[in-house]
Amino acid sequence: MYEKDGEQYFIVDSHLHFWDASPENWVPGQEEYAKGFISCFHDYQSLGPPETHDTIEKFRKQTVEEFRRHVFDEGKVDFGILESTALKDWYAKGFNAVEQNAVLLDQFPGKLRVNGSFDPRNGEAGLQRLEQDAETYDLKGVKLYTAEWKGASRGWRLDDPAAIPYFEKCLELGITNIHVHKGPTIWPMDKDAFDVSDVDHVATDFQGLNFIIEHVGLPRIEDFCFMATQEPNVYAGLSVVTGGLMHARPRFFAKVMGELLFWVGEDKMLFGSDYGIWTPKWQIEGLLDWDYPDDTYSDFPRWTDASKRKVLGLNAAKLYGLDVPEHLRLAPDQGTPAAKDDAKLVSGGVL
Amino acid sequence: MSTADRVLEALGEVYDPELDEPITDLRFVTSCDVSPDGDVEVRLRLPTPQCAPNFAFLMVADARAAIVGVPGVRRVHVVLEDHYTGREINDAVDAEGGYEAAFPGEGTERVDALRSLFHRKALVARQWRVYERLIAAGERPGEVSSWVLAELPDGDADVRRCDELRRALGLDVRPEAPAFVRPDGSPIAAQDLDRWRRSGRLINTSLELNGGMCRQLLQNRHGLAPEEVHA
């Protein structure tokens, strides 16, 4: 629980990692990619405040002690969602595969949940694995990396026919939160990792699932905004938005926040630190302190106390069925919904 | 003006298809050499070796097409450096083959559709810039939105680029045509004005963000001195 100026906030960090990208875990022959991927993450860390930067050696492998300090002791996070990323082509034990993340569950009982993942290129075996994982880890969500390489394949799309049985399985198993990486290029993955057109199709076909678009399709936020404004079950995952822009590019951050608050709305935005890239503390404090820098932003929705409570915790608590203490909840009518009128003009007319 | 200068000038008319900025401004041109006989070799570089192959192809092919028409030029050789599909692209463009020649089975239609989508986005974003400058200069929103092309300020780079984009999209460019249009050429109705402005601003922010990222990546990759920030 975070306390500021006598006010208390319920904080959910919906995007945490616990990875091992140390050289001992690099797949022989794939060292260049294994090294490049984590180095690219490390470069992104430099966009945060200098006092939060790590050496590459330290950055490559997270520890339980550091996780406790950064997330719970200093970050004051009430509940965290661990996102899983296998990447077993490059990392022998996985980068932060579900079983690697799950090590933390026993360390911090009642404070963490782990999301699984799937890859439709694994066919029937992948479906069975998803079922097993759902049982083992009581999955309520998955994290999908459509840009992940597999053999000769350089990625997949959510609306590939092979992916449909997986979403049906998710519905059946009660895995309702589908986090999808749609964001900046991560070397050596392909650039089209941020194309969001496939989300549109599956969000329409699977109304019972929530699609949390991590990194909001940066830098092409207009594609994401035009799509999200029309799909009630599409959410904005703020990982990288806060970490990558709030400190390094504050004016861009203000523009992006304004656009998201207008098109997507404060009811459908979720804070995520993307730790171990960036620590949660400065991002949470920054979001609580944040406001538009000047009056050129006057026709964007305001960032109110209700907005902060929703985005920093209550929205994710709703998606994951978390029990929020009575005094930290909001009355149902508090806040400002997104502008929904005229969505048709956007899709049919502007482009 | 030397042939090399004329070639560089021609390259200034080649645009990154998505960012809608000249490849010369983006510092994508590494070198430009012209032999005494008029043989040209231009080398291009992109922010990452993984930049989308379709965009990369368009820029290399457009660069070649722009240089071929320059007076005094004999042979043209455009080389894309250090890109994971560089060989396919360079070979196809050298042989004057289309996109299909570089990436068989990938389909030219998708590239054309993508280029058209980027043109439409660029038109919305640039018209928005022109419009907002006029409002900032004291014009009234309701009146400006019904202006015709002849009323727009001369010598404005965005106005000039909008004209090119309208031509590329097959839209009306006569002086009496509406100055502010949707990408299908229809004028902006009064009740749609607010949403049109918001969309223009959003696309503009996206282009700025994207362009900023590309510049930063290119600068880091090639150890270039920082350039002045535009936005």
- Cβ contacts (< 8 Å) between B212 and chain A: which residues? 219, 249, 252
> Domain A2-350, what fold?
TIM Barrel (3.20.20)
- What is the model's pLDDT at position A19? 98
Cβ distance B50 to A191 less than 8 Å, yes or no, reads yes
- What is the model's pLDDT at position A186? 60
Q: Among B18, B20, B50, which would you mutate to test the A interface (most chain A Cβ atoms within 10 Å of its Cβ)?
A: B50
Cβ distance B121 to A351 less than 8 Å, yes or no, reads yes
- Cβ contacts (< 8 Å) between B203 and chain A: which residues? 222
pLDDT tens sequence across A101-150: 999 999 999 999 999 999 999 999 999 999 999 999 999 999 998 887 78
Q: CA-based angle A225:A230:A233, to the nearest 5?
A: 95
- Mean pLDDT across chain A: 91
From chain A residues 34-93, the ones with a CB under 8 A of any chain B CB are 43
Are B16 and B59 contacting, i.e. CB atoms less than 8 angstroms apart? yes
- What is the model's pLDDT at position A318? 97
Of B51, B198, B209, the CB nearest to A191: B51
- What is the model's pLDDT at position A339? 63
- What is the model's pLDDT at position B222? 84
Q: If pLDDT is split at 50, 70 and 90, which confidence band does A348 have?
A: very low
Please give, rounded to a whole number of angstroms, the shortest distance from the CA of A111 to a CA of chain B.
Answer: 36
- What is the model's pLDDT at position B182? 92
Please give, rounded to a whole number of angstroms, the shortest distance from the CA of B77 to a CA of chain A.
Answer: 27
Per domain, the residue ranges of chain A are 2-350
Q: What is the Cα A277 distance to its own chain's centre?
A: 12
pLDDT tens sequence across B85-119: 889 999 999 888 888 888 887 777 778 888 899 99
CATH superfamily of B3-106: Fe-S cluster assembly (FSCA) (3.30.300.130)
Instruction: Confirm or reject contact between A195 and chain B (CB < 8 A).
Output: no
Supply the DSSP string of A291-327, one letter for each residue.
--SSGGGTTSPP--HHHHHIIIIIHHHHHHT----GG
Q: If pLDDT is split at 50, 70 and 90, which confidence band does B228 have?
A: low
- What is the model's pLDDT at position A191? 45
- Cβ contacts (< 8 Å) between B196 and chain A: which residues? 345, 350
If you count residue pairs, one on A and one on B, with CB atoms under 8 Å apart, how many are there? 68
Q: If pLDDT is split at 50, 70 and 90, which confidence band does A87 have?
A: confident
The SS3 assignment for A146 reads coil
Please give, rounded to a whole number of angstroms, the shortest distance from the CA of B52 to a CA of chain A.
Answer: 6
Report d(CA A38, CA A31) in Å as an integer: 11
Q: Is the pLDDT of residue A300 over 90?
A: yes
| Nearest residue to A17 via CA among A56, A70, A57, A54 | A70
- What is the model's pLDDT at position B50? 74
- Count CA atoms within 13 Å of residue B116 on its CB side: 12
- What is the model's pLDDT at position B110? 77
- Cβ contacts (< 8 Å) between B198 and chain A: which residues? 262
* CATH 3.30.300.130 residue spans of chain B: 3-106
- Cβ contacts (< 8 Å) between A259 and chain B: which residues? 201-202, 205
Alpha helices in B96-172 (DSSP H): 99-102, 108-136, 141-144, 157-168
Cβ distance B202 to A263 less than 8 Å, yes or no, reads yes
More confident residue, A279 or B194: A279
Mean pLDDT of A326-337: 83
- Tell me whether the omega of the peptide bond preceding residue A232 falls within 30 degrees of 0, making it cis: no
